[in-house]
Structure 1
Amino acid sequence: MGAVASVALLLPLLSAAPPAGAGVPDAGSLQAQFARAAARHGVPESVLLAVSYLQSRWDGHGGAPSVTGGYGPMHLTDAVTALTGAAPHHSDGAEDPRGDSSRPVRSGVEAPLPAAGSLPARLRTLERAAEVSGIPAEELRTGTAANIEGGAALLAAAQREAGLPASADPADWYGAVARYSGADDSATATTYANDVFDVIRGGESRTTDSGQRVTLAADPAVAPVTEQVAALGLRRPAAGPVECPPTVACEWMPAPYEEFGDGDYGNHDKANRPSAQSIDYIVVHDTEADWNTTLDLVRDPTYVSWQYSLRSSDGHIAQHVRLKDVAWHAGNWFVNAKSVGLEHEGFLTSPDSWYTEAMYRTSARLVRYLAARYDIPLDRQHVLGHDNVPGTVTASIRGMHTDPGPYWDWAHYFRLLGRPITPSAGPDAGVVTIRPDYGAHRPVYTGCVTAGVVCAPHGSGAVRLHTAPSADAPLVKDIGLRPGGQDSTTGVNDTGARASTGQSYAVAERRGDWTAIWYLGQRAWFHNPGKEPTAVNARGLVLTPREGLASVPVYGRAYPEASAYPAGVPVQAVSPLSYRLLAGQRYVVGDRTPGEYYFAPVFDSSGHRVVRGQEEYYQIQFGHRVAFVKAADVRVSQS
Structure 2
Amino acid sequence: MLIDRSADTGSPPDQRLQDDYTAAADEYHVPRNVLMGVSYLQSRWDSHPGTPSVVGGFGPMHLVDTHVAPAPEAPHDPARPSAAAAGPPARPDAGTPDKPAAQSADLQRAAILTGLPAAQLRTEDAANVRGGAALLAATQRQLGKPLSANPADWWEAVAKFPGTTDKVSAEIYANDVFDVIRRGAQRTTDAGQHVTLTASPGVRPHAPAAQGGPRPKNVECPPELSCSWLGAPYVRIDDDAYGNHDLADRPKDQRIDYIVIHDTEAPLASMLLTIQDPEEASWHYSVRSSDGHVTQHIRTKDAAWHSGSQFVNARSIGVEHEGFLRHPDAWYTEQMYRSSARLVRYLAKKYQVPMDRQHIFGHDNVPAPTEDSIPDMHDDPGPFWDWRHYFDLLGAPLRATAGPDSDVVMILPDYGKHKPRFTGCAKPGVRCAPHGSSAVRLRSEPSDDAPLIQDPGRRPDGEDSTEDVNDLGSRVSAGQTFAVAGRSGDWTAIWFQGHKAWFRNPKAQPTAVGARGRVVTPKEGVKEISVFGRALPEKDAYPEGVDEQPEAPLPYSLRAGQRYVTQSRVLGSYIDRSSFGDSPAPVVKGQEAYYEIQFDHRLAYVRASDVDVVDPPAAAGPGHPATTAGH
Deviation at 1:181, TM superposition (A): 1.7
Tell me the amino acid that sits aligned with residue 570 of structure 1.
D
Residues 426, 39 of structure 1: alpha-carbon distance in 2 compared, 3 angstrom cutoff: closer
Match of 2:96 in 1: none
CA contact (8 A) 2:175 2:208 kept: no
Q: C-alpha deviations, 1:422-448, integer Å up to 9, x for none?
A: 222234322111111111111100111
Equivalent of residue 498 in structure 1, options 471, 475, 495? 475
Equivalent of residue 145 in structure 1, options 102, 126, 141? 126
Q: Is it true that 1:209 corresponds to 2:181 in the alignment?
A: no
Residues 302, 129 of structure 1: alpha-carbon distance in 2 compared, 3 angstrom cutoff: farther
With 469-478 and 432-441 compared, the bigger mean Cα shift is at 432-441
Q: Is it true that 1:47 corresponds to 2:34 in the alignment?
A: yes
Q: C-alpha deviations, 1:393-414, integer Å up to 9, x for none?
A: 1111111110111111111222
CA contact (8 A) 1:178 1:229 kept: no
Residues 76, 532 of structure 1: alpha-carbon distance in 2 compared, 3 angstrom cutoff: same
Tell me the amino acid that sits aligned with residue 390 of structure 1.
P
Deviation at 1:41, TM superposition (A): 3.4
- State the number of aligned residues: 597
CA contact (8 A) 1:385 1:403 kept: yes
CA contact (8 A) 1:170 1:224 kept: no
Alignment TM-score, normalising by the size of structure 1: 0.87
Equivalent of residue 154 in structure 2, options 157, 167, 173? 173
Q: Is it true that 1:84 corresponds to 2:72 in the alignment?
A: yes
Rounded Cα–Cα distance in structure 2 between residues aligned with 1:190 and 1:603: 44
Residues 462, 176 of structure 1: alpha-carbon distance in 2 compared, 3 angstrom cutoff: same
Matches within 5 A, 1:89-104: 91=77
Residues 454, 347 of structure 1: alpha-carbon distance in 2 compared, 3 angstrom cutoff: same
Equivalent of residue 637 in structure 1, options 602, 605, 614? 614
CA contact (8 A) 2:81 2:273 kept: no
Rounded Cα–Cα distance in structure 2 between residues aligned with 1:129 and 1:236: 33
Match of 1:119 in 2: 91
Match of 2:326 in 1: 349
RMSD (Å), alpha carbons: 2.7
Residues 222, 488 of structure 1: alpha-carbon distance in 2 compared, 3 angstrom cutoff: same
Residues 553, 110 of structure 1: alpha-carbon distance in 2 compared, 3 angstrom cutoff: farther
Helix, strand or coil at the partner of 2:295: strand
Deviation at 1:621, TM superposition (A): 0.6
With 615-624 and 194-203 compared, the bigger mean Cα shift is at 194-203
Deviation at 1:260, TM superposition (A): 4.2
Match of 1:619 in 2: 596
Match of 2:216 in 1: 239
Rounded Cα–Cα distance in structure 1 between residues aligned with 2:129 and 2:108: 14
Tell me the amino acid that sits aligned with residue 180 of structure 1.
F
Tell me the amino acid that sits aligned with residue 86 of structure 1.
A
Residues 343, 290 of structure 1: alpha-carbon distance in 2 compared, 3 angstrom cutoff: same
Equivalent of residue 323 in structure 1, options 258, 283, 300? 300
Matches within 5 A, 1:291-440: 291-350=268-327, 352-353=329-330, 355-440=332-417
Residues 527, 224 of structure 1: alpha-carbon distance in 2 compared, 3 angstrom cutoff: closer
CA contact (8 A) 1:109 1:303 kept: no
Percent identity, aligned pairs only? 56
Match of 1:103 in 2: none
Equivalent of residue 582 in structure 1, options 553, 556, 559? 559
Helix, strand or coil at the partner of 1:176: helix
Matches within 5 A, 1:241-320: 241-320=218-297
Rounded Cα–Cα distance in structure 1 between residues aligned with 2:18 and 2:531: 53
Tell me the amino acid that sits aligned with residue 17 of structure 2.
L
Residues 81, 505 of structure 1: alpha-carbon distance in 2 compared, 3 angstrom cutoff: farther
Tell me the amino acid that sits aligned with residue 212 of structure 1.
Q
CA contact (8 A) 1:54 1:358 kept: yes
Q: Is it true that 1:218 corresponds to 2:199 in the alignment?
A: yes
Helix, strand or coil at the partner of 2:45: coil
Alignment TM-score, normalising by the size of structure 2: 0.88
Match of 1:75 in 2: 62
Using CA pairs below 8 Å that are at least 6 residues apart, which structure has the higher relative contact order? 1
Helix, strand or coil at the partner of 1:595: strand
Match of 1:13 in 2: none
Deviation at 1:137, TM superposition (A): 2.8
With 551-560 and 71-80 compared, the bigger mean Cα shift is at 71-80
CA contact (8 A) 2:186 2:196 kept: yes
Q: Is it true that 1:471 corresponds to 2:448 in the alignment?
A: yes
Match of 1:606 in 2: 583
Matches within 5 A, 1:434-473: 434-473=411-450
Tell me the amino acid that sits aligned with residue 64 of structure 1.
T
Residues 45, 530 of structure 1: alpha-carbon distance in 2 compared, 3 angstrom cutoff: closer
Q: Unpaired segments of 5 or more residues in structure 2?
A: 1-8, 94-100, 617-631
CA contact (8 A) 2:358 2:567 kept: yes
With 413-422 and 526-535 compared, the bigger mean Cα shift is at 413-422
Tell me the amino acid that sits aligned with residue 535 of structure 2.
A
With 624-633 and 168-177 compared, the bigger mean Cα shift is at 168-177
Deviation at 1:535, TM superposition (A): 0.6
Q: C-alpha deviations, 1:302-355, integer Å up to 9, x for none?
A: 322212222223222222211111111111111111011111222101253462
Helix, strand or coil at the partner of 1:172: helix
Helix, strand or coil at the partner of 1:608: coil
Residues 377, 24 of structure 1: alpha-carbon distance in 2 compared, 3 angstrom cutoff: farther
Rounded Cα–Cα distance in structure 1 between residues aligned with 2:605 and 2:349: 25
Deviation at 1:372, TM superposition (A): 1.6
Tell me the amino acid that sits aligned with residue 135 of structure 1.
L
Q: C-alpha deviations, 1:564-616, integer Å up to 9, x for none?
A: 11122232222111112122211111311111112233332425111111222
Residues 408, 524 of structure 1: alpha-carbon distance in 2 compared, 3 angstrom cutoff: same
Match of 1:564 in 2: 541
Tell me the amino acid that sits aligned with residue 20 of structure 2.
Q
Deviation at 1:534, TM superposition (A): 1.0
Q: Is it true that 1:188 corresponds to 2:169 in the alignment?
A: yes
Q: C-alpha deviations, 1:354-388, integer Å up to 9, x for none?
A: 62222222222222222222221111111111100
Q: Is it true that 1:29 corresponds to 2:52 in the alignment?
A: no
